[in-house]
Amino acid sequence: MSDNDIGERVKKIVVEHLGVEEGKVTDSASFIDDLGADSLDTVELVMAFEEEFGCEIPDDAAEKIVTVKDAVNFIQEHAA
Amino acid sequence: MFDLSGKTALVTGASGGIGGAIARSLHAQGARVALSGTRREALDALAAELNGAAVLPCNLSDAEAVAKLPGQAEEALGGLDILVNNAGLTRDTLAMRMKDEDWLTVLEVNLTAAFRLSRGVLKGMMKRRSGRIINITSVVGVTGNPGQANYASSKAGLIGLTKSLAAEVASRGITVNSVAPGMIETAMTDALNDQQRERILANIPAERLGKPEDVAACVAFLASQEAGYVTGHTLHVNGGMAMI
């Protein structure tokens, strides 16, 4: 999987789940502060990432996934 | 009204009087049910009556077994729409004589298992944007009862769990409610002598003990589509013995 590919798929999930405009989903965008997610949304995003990329994101790692870039980095390192 | 066709439900403590009635009631409304409990024979006998029922024995004081139960139910039924945390046990004694073990066992089975199972089923319910969790608490969780510090605490805890979960997941189409039975005719109340029975009845305006079916009907209602705007509620089913 290329980095680019992961980034696009992550952004697509974020757009679908949070119903935000694609342009707002930048690498540095924070799910909660910039994209209007609440804590339950972030749990759902993590679930969606796990499903899309077939990896498990433990709770302590999930807590550190604050921005789009955080998610992409984690998946790059751990995706099957 | 209250049609549950195509829905699936897991009922814990299904080998008991109230649990069995709940399973029958959900089944009668069209749901497919998974029956959990510790008495395999009783579960098998009930399953034989309820077309398509699955039997999933589980010791709720075993954390590992509890962690597996939601997945087993989802697999057996092809998803899970309704969880009824009905299982409960008593270890009655005055608080001054109550051993840690009496306290911990009751809390573990009545409260902690309900939390663990709820946590386990929520993921699927969140994805489907619908679900029902119904916790069977007790009138004594609100009124207290001498000799039942452990049981009453566990049942009060279930009410707090119900309200907190309800607030967390309401936006995802999932409701979480409690049903609080008063004195219901079960093996437990069969053991009362005439004098005890009379004293209890004197405090019940309906002048009768409740039947398991009285409780089960309320569970079926809360499980239904029609109850979709009811959440965080505790529905008391006690013939008026405590109007709370």
The per-residue pLDDT for range B71-116, each reduced to its tens digit, is 999 999 999 999 999 999 999 999 999 999 999 999 999 999 999 9
Confidence of residue B196 (pLDDT cuts 50, 70, 90): confident
**Is pLDDT of B63 > 70?**
yes
Number of helical H runs and strand E runs in chain B: 10, 7
Would A22 be classed as within a structural domain? no
Binding-site residue set of B: 38, 86, 151-155, 184
Kind and range of the H or E element at B237? strand B234-237
Distances (CA, A) of B100 to A46, B106, B108: 39, 10, 12
A1 and chain B: CB distance < 8 Å anywhere? Answer: no
Would A49 be classed as within a structural domain? yes
Q: Which of A3, A5, A33, A38 is catalytic?
A: A38
Are the C-beta atoms of B140 and B187 separated by less than 8 Å?
A: no
Would A38 be classed as within a structural domain? yes
- From the list A40, A44, A47, the residue facing B168 with the nearest CB is A40
Query: Could you give all domains of chain B from N- to C-terminal order, each with its CATH number?
Result: 8-235 (3.40.50.720)
Q: What is the pTM of this model?
A: 0.93
The per-residue pLDDT for range B185-194, each reduced to its tens digit, is 988 788 888 8
Tell me the residue range of the domain where A47 lies. Answer: 3-17+30-78
**Looking at beta carbons, which residues of chain B come within 8 Å of A62?**
none
> What is the average per-residue pLDDT within A30-56?
94
- Residue A11: CATH number of its domain: 1.10.1200.10
> Strands across the sheet with B32-37, in order?
B54-57, B32-37, B8-11, B82-85, B131-136, B174-181, B234-237
Would A25 be classed as within a structural domain? no
Whether A34 sits among the annotated catalytic residues: the reply is: no
* Beta-sheet pairing, B82-85 with B131-136: parallel
**Is pLDDT of A80 > 70?**
no
Per-residue confidence (pLDDT) for residue B208, from 0 to 100: 95
Interface touch B127/A47, C-beta < 8 Å: yes
Rounded CA separation A67/A69 (Å): 5
Would A51 be classed as within a structural domain? yes
Quote the tokens at residue B138: 């007790």
- What are the b/e assignments for B140-150, b being 16+ CB within 10 Å? bbbeeeebbbb
Domain count, chain A: 1
